[in-house]
Structure 1
Amino acid sequence: MNKTIIININGIVFHIEEDAYEVLRSYMTEVKRHFAFSSDNDEIVMDIENRLAEMFTERLAEQNKQVIVLQDVTDITARMGNTNDFDIDSDETEFSAIPKASRTLYRDMDDRMVGGVCSGLGHYFNIEAKYVRLITVLATIFWGTGLIVYLILWIVIPWAKTRTEKMAMKGEAINLQGFKRNFDEEVDALRQNISDAGTRMKPGFNAAEDFLRDAGEHTGSFITKFLSIIFKLIGAFVIFVCCSLLFASLLGLLFVMGFINGNEMDGFPFNVINPEYQSPIYFSAALLIVIPLIALILFALKVLFNRKITGRTTSFALLIIWLTGLGMAVYYGAKVGAEFKTEANFEQQSLIKSYPVFYLKLNEARFLSKGDSVDYNITFNGRRGRVKMGADLGEIDFYVQKSDDSLTVLVKDFSARGRDFQSALTNAQQSTYTFVQADSIITLDKYLSFPPKQAFRDQDVNVTLRVPVGTHLIIDGDLNNIFHDVNLRDCLPEDSDWNTPSEWIMTETGLKCADEALFKKNTEPK
């Protein structure tokens, strides 16, 4: 009983006896050693292994057995040849001594016009492929059968994929010498094709080089001109935009300086600036805006006309002017910022006649008083009336709290900022907030006001209405914007108008909705 070994050759598993395996392993070792220094030796060895796998498969099928024995290895390696067969002085003698094998019909995909059928037939019948192609064309022209036969053979005949199939197609002996010669022929043919291709392509390369050089020069010239036009268009657009901004800045400067409109600007942030600082701050702001616009216009003109517009002296002068404006802006900006350093408060209390029910309303209009009319030099030409002022001059925070006794009191807590405590307190004292009581109706102003000449110093007022426990309050929805601690809409039915009055009651724990069930329904999580 002999020991059997399982081997894998080219992905095919074979069972082989141990002595036969040793002979096959020695054979493949000699083959690999022989081709070790050949170019692409791995490809040659792989082709030899493929051929051995094919021959072992055929041998096992012919003898209807499953195990490769020593005799099989001896016979097949003898057919493949030995590496000693290469020890011949002349390559020509070596190749001439190689016997020819029978040819197998394949399509030659390496020498094809369409499908490789004619070149395959040429190899099979040992004639040149051009004659087979000529016969096919003539048969197609005169008898009409050449094309049909060609298509049928194209479908039926397989194409030579592996090196073994290509050698069988050409009738070459499928052994070591055959593999070596076939591989050398392919390498020589590849080198010759590369050489011929280089010779044929050299004039084409020269022509292509000339063409690319000319195309590059013309393309570069076109791109340069195109970019020049784009830059000029951008420069013209920049000049137009900067001139527009420059004109608008000058008009703005004239406006705020009072040359066009003599009225003082009392909107934020202009009302923050002290009257004595307004002219230098506006002037410095104009310099900070105008000088860069002028510099940008000069640069755009330089790009547009490709010439120097200004000298070093002009550029230096513009820089000095701009730095001067920056210094003025920093200096006066710091002085204005210092006006917000300290905060001060003062409180005013007004006793209000008590009622079991109060109606709180909001006066959204701001009317100028008689003193305001004098300050603003406003006359009515003999007609009686008031001038309404719509600007929001200060922040109002309104609270309703429980009174410690049976009195109803309205407390106004004014606050403002200043350079020091005294100036902050003066600014707070100059603030005014008014309300009007008509029986049980209390109308609250929406605005905090202060003298027209007074600069904004973060003035605001906290207005607190303190009522006894049990007092009912009917509060207009307009007050919700300044009302704190409660949301008036929590005491209103759904889909109510925003100004719908709501009813509240003062309790020991604070202001509560008169309809507690409605309040819970509106405030419970949804």
Structure 2
Amino acid sequence: MKKNISINLQGMIFHIEEDGYDVLSRYLAEVKTHFSGYRGHEEIVADIESRIAELFAARLSGLKQVITLEDVEAMTAKMGRVSDFQTADEAEDDEEILAEAVASGSAQGTYTGSRPSAGYSAGSNAKSATTAAAAEEEDGTKRLYRDMANRKVAGVAAGLARYFAVNPLWIRLGFLALMIVFPILLDGTPLENFSEKLPAISVLTYIILWVVLPTRFDGTPTDEDPVFKKLYRDTDTGKVGGVSAGLAAYFKTDVVLIRILFIVGLFAGGFALPLYIILWILLPEAKTASDRLRMRGDAVTLSALDNNLRNSPFEEGATPVNNRPVGTFLENFFTNIRPLINLLGSAIRVFVGGVMTITGFFLLLALLIMLGVGLGMIPESDNVFMGPLPAYTFFNGLSPWAVVCFFLMTAIPALALLLAGLGLLLRRTILTRTASLTLLGLWLLGIVGSSVAGTRLAREFQHEAEVTQSTNLSPLTSAQLVLDRRYSDNGEWVDLDLVPVDSGQTPRLERIISAKGATEEDARQTAATSVAHSIRMPNDSTLSIDDHYTFQPGARFRGQEMQLRLLIPRDRTFRMNESFSNWLEDDNYVNGRAPIHPEQHTYRLRGSKIECIGCTEEDLRGDSNDGGYDEPNADYEAGQADADTDSTDTDMHINIHTDEDGDNVRVDVESKAAQFSADPARYGSGRRSFADLRDFSRIEASGAYYVHVRQGNEFKVEAAGSDRDLRRLRVTRDGDQLVIRSRDVGFMPSLSFSQHPVLIRITLPTLRVVELSGACRLNAAGFQNEDLKVEQSGACVAALDVNVPNLSIDMSGACRTDLTGQATFLSVDASGACQLNALRLPARRAEIEMSGLGKAKVRVREQLRVDLSGDSDVLYAGDPDNVQQELSGSSHVTKISDSE
């Protein structure tokens, strides 16, 4: 039995046997005595104690918790003793100092004279037992072998590292680079074929070395071997951050060469500057004497520390000279702004944590509601949706265990997001390791259960069948029918076709319902019993049909779809309101041309098409030659005093040109001008007025609206279109900005997009900014003497007739702008396939920046500056005195005659 003593070495607690403690105390007393005459001796002794603590910690394990005398002797053998490098005079001085320390009780050890103790004798024996690696150095030969003491796989990388005296990390990274990085970097280069073979070559080389090289198990651990250096920043000899000096010490080369390489890299692509900054941030500074020894690859021993201190240029009491003022200034600057950076980091942490917490909470709440619906704890309701369908239609076909598994699979990530956000806010971990592993197990269980349930559910969609349900419309006895459409936000959309039947028959409505199931009989039964659709006949001539169908209580979703067929006798005429007309496709009409005002006409069925009785060419939309729906054309402008030019088709045309060999490809994207009718009667019977919107000078429009803007002394906003489209229109004022956009209707508002345009007429005294996005069209005129800025994105088109000092056009996507009037300065910034026609707007000066497939036509009198990239073209008229061009790619700048 031995007595143990607890000691503290630089914050690390060790239990050491009493005899080992005596030797260690004596050892440290000699170290303190010897280094007491050096500048910063407290730091030197603390550094030595830290190294001793590292060596002691490496000798402890789960079965060995006490430092023995043998451990202390092994430490002294590695660190060396003061007497190994002391001169006789220095030894006598240290003996006197140590004797005084023992007399005063500050030596922290026992002293028995100059005779070495048994511990030191053992240390000498340990030191004399050199390793095989040291023998190699004495022979002057180096042998390649597999280093099994520092292996990760087979010791090949560690053996190569020891042979070339580098850290094994670099060899391992080199192998990974050959297998992963280089094949990616060389892809598409002349070395592509060779790069594809690099992974196989690397693996084969590793296997060959594994087989051929001999093994050694007596290698020194990497962190204790002086051969392996550690990369630091050398701020003692550095000029800025000490990076170059640290690299030079690591690679044992001249620091001037490293600095030259950084300078060359700075001008050869600029990669050297970010690399230098990254290394400055990541590499630690060599602050202590032991750090400087490790940086140069020297062993951390007392002898090496003494030599390092003796060669130090600073004597006791001397003030170090700052040889890197730039680096010191930068470090002090970032140290001073660290509180600001910490504050910014805290703000980002709180913001991200708050977003994660709120998102996770609402996701978890929604999933809990769905769980309640799926388990029957929340009654069936059409107000709980999953996409466009009621939630219960999904859960009725699932077993409770499948619902729970699906909940676990989706709710646990939401809970993890919530807890991660709380952890960021509270700056601590919320869940313990046990709880985290439990949630992980439940999540994996949920994934497995959901996969099994999904497989079973897929069997319910293997077969498809359809049924036809017919309803006799015998109450409709009038010779002329009135067809009405009942709009509904709930349920699934249905399509309607009008089908002629023989004269004298009774009108009827057929519902063709399809569904899926495990068998055709199941699918047929589901189609017949799972959906509901309503019609109303308030009198003997009016038929009102729902445009959506709903699910029956207890129904299960099996991909149900419904198609309506209204069978009308050929001898019966009918009328229909605008909403019913909008339900039909233009192809349902004769020649594909529907009336502009469908509620004003009478119809009959001719063949399978709808014929408008008594309609003239002026009453029909589009052109008889195109057979499809067209936008309001030039005839809409008849009688309109404020119409500027004829309206034309706005379709986009893409032309691709190639040479004879097909090598050079040129793409031209063209779209027509933004002209449209300003007559509300051309857009439908619905009207809305926004009399309370005043005091705005900016307009923002998003969607597919026709925006007609004119200058006036008062504010006025009106809209014309179908009733349904006007219900979806939202016009508000945000500060001095008028905002026009569509309301969010239903689960996916984009599904309710209408092909029929909505006209918005705006009158205001001053217009400063216009922002268009989507597929909006703008026609603005009459504004003068105020700077104007127009921003367009998407497929917007605009036509402006203005007289302003400065006109700024910003376009992206496939926009088009036509300009008329005058401007002192015209600025254009376009990207994508944009078009600009400003030949009718002479400008004194113009600046044009375009990228992509843009095209611009301008008229300039004095100065033109052009910056083009990609396949952009600029045509300019006039005789500017100064034309500046910056072109890249296949861009062109061409002068055209004034007559064009």
TM-score by length of 2: 0.29
Q: TM-score, normalised on structure 1?
A: 0.46
Bigger relative CO (Cα 8 Å, ≥ 6 apart): 1
Q: Which has the larger radius of gyration?
A: 1
Counting strand residues as a fraction of each chain, which structure ranks higher? 2
The structure in which a higher percent of residues are helix is 1
